[in-house]
Amino acid sequence: MSGTEELLVEAGRLAAELDAADPPTLLDIRWRLTGPPGRDDYAAAHLPGAVFIDLDTALCGPPGPAGRHPLPDPAALQAALRAAGVRAGHPVVVYDGGDGMSAARAWWTLRWAGHRPVRLLHGGFPAWLAAGLPTGTDEPTPVEGDVVVRPGALPVLDASAAAELAAGDGVLLDVRAAPRYRGEHEPVDPVAGHVPGAVNLPATEYVSDGRFPVAEALRDRFAVAGVVAGAPVGAYCGSGVTAAQAVLALHLAGRPDAALYVGSWSNWVADPDRPVATGSTPGG
């Protein structure tokens, strides 16, 4: 099985899997940064058998100095996943409203928690609709799962490690839009700019409408940003959601060692003593 097949699943293939005797556990992760809640979308229509998981409260810890979407408490995450029916070693498929960001953060969180068999529905809910596949409104009551959360299965950066990566021989990718990177516009966090030494690679340059190009195209695009074989790479965004999508893209490109700065910019600027760069170049 190729790396792409292990990480992504197309709508038609997923439909066939859901008709099998023991289908994958299906999690609806629809979410918007500024609302309305994704649960409203889920209530209106969702993939048959899908269970809704809230990104903010189930997959992340409470917002604070660690960032707007910090790592979840392992025990709380385990309880949420078990309530959603996630079973140890059993395949999980996650999907969102189509941009692939919140589903990618769910993919990353489950992988970080030690649950490896998890894939993302390529193109999300719109891809399912475009394929003419059925939806429903019934909310299933899943059988309690038995997944065991073992944190640390994917690499994580804190602020110090992110600074070292940006200043060293590796590459720290800032995947926010260019005006935010340059410090011209900051709609969410209290300080504008970027981590000194970080390279800007907006998410729109390697993913479109929640769909990823082939691995070779991804490798070429990351190489332009300085990502080369053998050198460490990490990614950050505003709060670790879009950057989780970047880590997924790096996995697709053959870099399973890619690290996520989970706290991202929202954590970086929580400490006023941390330096801030502005402008279009990594050093400002």
Q: Which of 118, 120, 173, 237 is catalytic?
A: 237
How far is Cα 92 from Cα 246, in angstroms, rounded to an integer? 20
Full DSSP string of the chain:
--HHHHHEE-HHHHHHHHTSSSPPEEEE----TT-S-HHHHHHH-B-TT-EE--IIIIIS---BTTBSS-PPPHHHHHHHHHHTT--TT--EEEE-SSSSHHHHHHHHHHHHTT---EEEETTHHHHHHHTT---B-----PPP--------SS-EE-HHHHHHHHHTTSEEEE-S-HHHHHTS--SSSSS-SB-TTPEE--GGGT-BTTB---HHHHHHHHHHTT--TTS-EEEE-SSSSHHHHHHHHHHHTT-TT-EEESSHHHHHTTSTTS--B-SSSTT-
CA atoms within 13 A on the CB side of 106: 32
Please name the residues in contact with 191: beta carbons below 8 A apart, sequence gap of 6 or more.
269, 276
The total of other beta-carbon atoms located within 10 Å of residue 10's CB is 14
Reply yes or no on whether 60 is catalytic. no
The total of other beta-carbon atoms located within 10 Å of residue 50's CB is 26
Catalytic residues: 237
